Structures are given as structure tokens and as C-alpha cells.
Amino acid sequence: MVHFVGVEAMIRLVEKTGVREFLSGLSQAIEDDFRRWPVFEKTPRIASHSSVGVIELMPTSDGNHYGFKYVNGHPKNMKEGLQTVTAFGVLSDVSTGYPVLVSEMTLLTALRTAATSAMAAKHLARPDSRCMAIIGNGAQSEFQALAFAAICGIDQIRLYDIDPTASLKCAANLAGHGLDITICTTAQDAVAGADIITTVTADKQYATILTDNMVGEGVHINAIGGDCPGKTELHKDILHRSQIFVEFTEQTRIEGEIQQLPENYPVTEMWQVITGTMPGRQSAKEITLFDSVGFAIEDFSALNFMRRQALSLGIFEELDLIADLADPRNLFGVLETKKDPIRRPQRPQAAA
């Protein structure tokens, strides 16, 4: 049988593990996979565009497992009370081609995005960073705050959103998590004194969330919201003052902040920093920028990490997705079940 982790199971899995512990383990799993970056099959996402949104498939493989994520992006959904982004994912065994896991990934993507951000900041931000500003306090903001708390030692959070109720929602959700939280009335106020600035706004257009004068020396910028063609958050002048780090250059040139820059503008891929083949931050005064758009390998890491958790905690269901036959040539026989017990007895699947 194929294992299934639905939304309720994912919620129980994260609660039982602990959000911070889940984010820490996931961040480490992503780092481990970035460390072996060259073994992965890297394909640009396969997108199907319509006038109201996009549906994408993001596959990758490390030669042992194959994984893909289905994800949509429909900015108008929010007005209809629906999620802008929903996602689910599949893991398969490369040696047999059989799927082994189907999972919700709306929640898991939020977790992996935050875990990836914090992993990058662990390598790029000043080690003494304590205070993070979060510009944009929507669905991703709490995950960012907790990931940076768990992985980078952040304990002060400064919130700003053009909609004050979003900041209130974020602050309320973060209450009781041991963070010193300040709601600010301007973006300028939020970034004052911050060691790390996270931009994670949702407007699908060229916007300038940060202008050059707002960014002081030594800051690490974690730019999450600029993640598709035509959507950026940072003024170009900031990019020129920063050392820029990306996931997969080919994809980020199209989707990231650097779509504002010439095609040959130098950037460093995060896996090169992690493996020590390229430098990360080189001085306490440097501005570092992680221009993050999300990449298939992070989803792959998330599915594998989550699967291990789910199997060890026994939090999953079974999905009747594969016609496993006693005689594989006799597929037609399954339609005449009165004749014979044609399907193979289902074997419990060994843990990874």
C-alpha cells in the first residue's frame, strides 16, 4: 500500500513532534540534501498558466527516491475565501517506479520554506543576530519567526504589514513561544535595529517593500515574497549593495529578485556555501541577500523527512493506489474477482 499523510495527519505529526523540533529537523534534512546537490536531477518547474493562476509540477530525484510537488498559485482565491496556494506531493521508489507516499503539502511547504530560510541565514547572517524584522505578516510569517528562533537564535521579532490585522494575527499566534514581539506601524520602523530582514509579502506585482536607505550594513535579507516573473519586493539599489545567494540560478533568474539584474550578474548557489566551495558572508559589514524562490529539492527533503517522522510515529493512512497483482500479466483478471483472489495480499511496508 501507498502511505497517505493528509492535512489532519500532518497537523498531528507537527504537534506531536513539536513545531520547533520539526523545523530544526527539517532544516537539517534540507541542508544534508543541499550538501549532495550535484546528485539531484534538476528540472525547471512545469507550469500550466490560465488567466487566473498557475498549476505547477516540480519533480526531482536523487537516484533512490523520485519526488514531485503539485502546487497552484491563484492570487484571486483569497477574496473567495480559498487558499492562494495549495500543494500536495508524492515520493516514489526509483528502483520499482512504485509510489510510496502521497502527502498534503500546503502545510509542509510553509514549514520547508521557513526551514530553508533559516538554514540559509545560519550560513549567511552575522552569528550574533538576535532581532528579525518580518515585512508581510500573512500565512508564512509565523513559520519564519519560529524557524529563525529554533535554528538561528532569534528572540526578537518586529512585525509590519500594510494590514494591521495581519500583524495582530501573527503576534497572537506567536504568543507563548518565548519571543519578544513588537508590532510596528511602518516598514522603516520594523527594520530599525534588525539583524535580519525577512520580506514575505503577497502582492503579485513589482513592489518596493524595502528601499535602499532602510538597509544598514551587516544585515542579512531573507527575500521570500519575490518568487515569480513580475513579482519582486526589493529596490534594485539594494541588490547592487548585496552579496546575492540563490537556490538554483537558472530558476531564480526568472522568478527571483535578480530578474531585475542583468543575466550574467554574479550570484552564489547556497549548496556551494554549505559545501565550502564558495564563500558565504565575508565580513560583519557586508549585506547578504538570500533571494529565495523555492526549489524542488527542498520539497523532496521535506517529503523524506516527514515520511520518516510519520512512519516512526505511526501517523499515516494507507491508500489503495496500486493494483499489485499475483500475476502481473493478468490485469484483466482483477475485473473478474469472483473467479479467483487475484490481488496480492497487501504487505506492510518496511520503514525507510
Subset of 97-126 contacting its own copies (CB under 8 A): 97-99, 102, 104, 106-107, 110
Total binding residues toward its own copies, as defined by CB under 8 A = 79
Mark 165-194 with x for binding to its own copies (rule: CB under 8 A) and - for no binding. Answer: -x--x---x---------------------
46 lines the binding site for its own copies (CB under 8 A): yes
Handedness of CA 26, 30, 35, 36 (dihedral sign): positive
Kindly tell me which of 77 and 272 has the beta carbon lying closer to its own copies.
77
Residues 5-34 that bind its own copies (CB under 8 A): 6-9, 11, 14-15, 19
Kindly tell me which of 139 and 270 has the beta carbon lying closer to its own copies.
139
61 lines the binding site for its own copies (CB under 8 A): yes
User: Minimal distance in Å, beta carbon 159 to its own copies?
Assistant: 13
DSSP-based three-state secondary structure for 303: helix
Rounded distance between C-alpha atoms, residue 44 and residue 105, angstroms: 19
162 lines the binding site for its own copies (CB under 8 A): no
| Angle between helix 164-174 and helix 141-152 axes, rounded to 10 deg | 40
Rounded distance between C-alpha atoms, residue 43 and residue 266, angstroms: 22
Rounded distance between C-alpha atoms, residue 304 and residue 333, angstroms: 35
Pick one of 128, 332, 347, 351: the residue that binds its own copies (CB under 8 A): 332
Kindly tell me which of 17 and 242 has the beta carbon lying closer to its own copies.
17
| Angle between helix 7-17 and helix 296-313 axes, rounded to 10 deg | 80
Beta bridge partners of 198: 134, 222
Residue 227 is a catalytic residue: yes
Listed in order, strand segments (DSSP E) in the chain are: 2-5, 41-42, 46-49, 54-61, 65-73, 87-93, 99-104, 131-135, 156-160, 180-183, 196-199, 206-210, 220-223, 232-234, 242-246, 268-269, 287-291, 317-319
Rounded distance between C-alpha atoms, residue 31 and residue 7, angstroms: 25
Pick one of 21, 48, 217, 241: the residue that binds its own copies (CB under 8 A): 48
User: Minimal distance in Å, beta carbon 121 to its own copies?
Assistant: 19
Active-site entry in 33, 161, 195, 227: 227
Kindly tell me which of 10 and 131 has the beta carbon lying closer to its own copies.
10
User: Minimal distance in Å, beta carbon 335 to its own copies?
Assistant: 6
